[in-house]
Structure 1
Amino acid sequence: MQVTNSPPDLNPSCGWHGTLQLVFARQREATQLMHEYGKAPLKVQRPFYPEGSEVCHSAILHTAGGIVGGDRLSLNLQLQPDAHALVTTVAAAKVYRSNGLEAKQTIQVEIAPGACLEWLPLETIVFNQATYRQEMRIELAPGASWLGWEMTRFGRSARGEQFVAGNWRSHTEVWQQGRPLWCDRQWVPGSKELFDSPHGLAGWPVVGSFAFVGRPVEPDLVEKARALWDSYSGKMTGETGATRLMSGFLCRYRGRSTMEARQWFIAIWHLVRTHDLHRPACIPRVWQLEQRC
């Protein structure tokens, strides 16, 4: 695999153009971060190994503290054969009110045969009047797998803010040998009607998706995921769904709490890891520092 050259800078008055390139490789039964290149405001912390040398945990840091209109963030992650990496973020991402320009994040992922990437960022908080687009494309080689989630809060609901103006788009694609395995397009234009509509947010500010793609899963995995949510009866307030994909598994959440979404997703993550990756879930160290409602 070759590392792409860094893209040119944009005019500073048009926002940040941050880049981050990471290459993971397996050497002597250990996954190592073999190459890293970052340009502000993106950087990666030192890798750590809370579950042994086979899985490399890495945390991405956005040093500017938030995303504004005109920002362009480009991430490129490559996993060489049989590597296993877990990549998360140090803190929740904040997308501020737009200055008239769109903010955009683009993520390109290449996963070689036998490799696995777990993409588990903390939530994104989209302020009212923000304009934001995120695009992620994953190229899977035969025998590779990708596990990822996305959690988004629309508006600073603790302050009573709703997402009634602005625009949010999220587009994720997973491909294997020129064939699409899963394409997911989401669009939430800020409006009071959509915020309250049962076909939109139904008055709930948090949505989330969890996906595992790269290999077929048995129907009982779907039933177990649904049973996990049912076991929270009386404790959770959101709505959820789980279904099989052509080559994988998908769960959705809509509700009031990012902690509630994360709790369910972590339980599903543990289920998938035990069932298909043959190891229990290991909570990244940076999450243990997070305390939010």
Structure 2
Amino acid sequence: MNLAQENLKNAWQASLYLRFGDTAVGTQLLNTKRHGPLNVQRAFFPEGKDCAHVYLLHPPAGIVSGDELRISIDVLEGAHALITTPGANRFYRAREDISIGDSKQYQHVEFRLAKDAKCENFPLETIVYDGADGVNEVDIYLHKNASYLGWDITCLGLPSSTQPFKSGSFTQLNRVFCDDELIFHDRIAVHPNNDIFNHVAGLNAKHVFATFLAHVPLDSDQKSALEQSIDSLRAVVSENDAEGKVSITKIRGLLVMRYLGDNAEECKALFTELWQILRPIVMQKTAVNPRIWYT
């Protein structure tokens, strides 16, 4: 076996498709299609049958050069799904012996929410190791009367373990479409040649950056309640002495909360507190942490 064949053998081309529907017994995971090392066990219902909690499983626990992971999730009319992961995602150091193409490590996640659908997307943090060559894309397609809460948390390197992110590249792209119209486009590409990591208008030498998005039906009382919640959200930020780390803005019907700092656990704790305020408004439910977060 030559080097190209060996690299191809070691590269994972994986995909996972999930479809949730509202049934007579509540939200159900109606359909699962998978290829490669991506899977789910089953739906859990810790807060009743009308909200399905699902854990995305990736047994290799990391993405290496040549890997391409694609996750697609449909939430049909009236259904409510909460998606999370049992552990951090990882983009490992890119291979230097790639001969089957470039060294890219790629993940694309797509959500499609129908009318009156509800979805919460709370993966644990993504760790990007020094020397990685990663691309992570998240596309959200919303009906105007769908409800969405979701975050992504990215950690560049492991500075607390004296493994800072000094080389390599990473691109994070978040897009939100409402009735097929692009309403949010946020892209950051960290590369040694552009100095985005150190630039004061970029990451300002901070290792953790994150975005938390909230969307409610446009023609509803929830929209006014979401706007009125901003003061409460900012009070949480102030109480945690995080004014210089978290920003909260409205962009074309979306509530956008950003974190820029050096501590992924701090970010998750802050976002969880914001979720506790937002969930009763957006989902008409109190916040119930997924059980997997306690393991």
Q: Residue 197 of structure 2: SS of its match in structure 1?
A: helix
Shift of 1:135: 1.7
TM-aligned CA distance change 1:238 to 1:71, over 3 Å: farther
2:36 to 33, 40, 47: 40
Q: Distance in 2 between matches of 1:28 and 1:237?
A: 45
Cα distance per residue 1:195-248 (max 9 Å; x no partner): 333223223211111001244544322222111110113xx5961100112112
TM-aligned CA distance change 1:237 to 1:179, over 3 Å: closer
Residue 7 of structure 1: aligned partner: none
When the two structures are aligned, how many residues end up with a matched partner? Answer: 277
Cα distance per residue 1:113-163 (max 9 Å; x no partner): 100111110000000110111222222123112211000110011221221
2:251 to 245, 248, 255: 245
Query: Is the 1:164–1:195 Cα contact (8 Å) retained in structure 2?
Result: no
Residue 263 of structure 2: aligned partner: 257
TM-aligned CA distance change 1:238 to 1:39, over 3 Å: farther
Query: Is the 2:122–2:150 Cα contact (8 Å) retained in structure 1?
Result: yes
1:183 to 182, 185, 206: 185
Q: TM-score with structure 2 length normalisation?
A: 0.88
Residue 106 of structure 1: aligned partner: 108
Residue 60 of structure 1: aligned partner: 56
2:153 maps to 1:145: no
2:117 to 115, 121, 137: 115
Which 5+ residue runs of structure 2 have no aligned equivalent? 1-6, 97-102
Shift of 1:102: 0.3
Query: Is the 1:18–1:73 Cα contact (8 Å) retained in structure 2?
Result: yes
Letter in 1 for 2:280: T
Letter in 2 for 1:76: S
2:204 to 180, 184, 202: 202
Residue 158 of structure 2: aligned partner: 156
Shift of 1:277: 1.8
Q: Distance in 2 between matches of 1:86 and 1:288?
A: 16
Letter in 2 for 1:147: L
Letter in 2 for 1:24: F
TM-aligned CA distance change 1:142 to 1:237, over 3 Å: closer
- The 10-residue stretch of structure 1 (103-112 or 116-125) with the greater mean CA deviation from structure 2: 103-112
Query: Is the 2:156–2:207 Cα contact (8 Å) retained in structure 1?
Result: yes
Shift of 1:29: 5.0
TM-aligned CA distance change 1:193 to 1:170, over 3 Å: closer
Q: Distance in 1 between matches of 2:19 and 2:183?
A: 23
Residue 231 of structure 2: aligned partner: 223
Percent of pairs with identical residues = 30
CA-atom RMSD in angstroms: 1.9
Q: Distance in 2 between matches of 1:102 and 1:35?
A: 30
Residue 4 of structure 2: aligned partner: none
Query: Is the 1:237–1:256 Cα contact (8 Å) retained in structure 2?
Result: no
Query: Is the 2:118–2:283 Cα contact (8 Å) retained in structure 1?
Result: no
Residue 5 of structure 1: aligned partner: none
Which 5+ residue runs of structure 1 have no aligned equivalent? 1-10
Q: Distance in 1 between matches of 2:184 and 2:57?
A: 28
Cα distance per residue 1:165-214 (max 9 Å; x no partner): 11111112111223122222122224795433322322321111100124
Residue 213 of structure 2: aligned partner: 211
TM-aligned CA distance change 1:29 to 1:268, over 3 Å: farther
Q: Distance in 1 between matches of 2:197 and 2:32?
A: 40
Q: Residue 155 of structure 1: SS of its match in structure 2?
A: strand
Q: Distance in 2 between matches of 1:226 and 1:168?
A: 30
Residue 99 of structure 2: aligned partner: none
Query: Is the 2:148–2:282 Cα contact (8 Å) retained in structure 1?
Result: no
TM-aligned CA distance change 1:126 to 1:189, over 3 Å: same
Shift of 1:12: 3.0
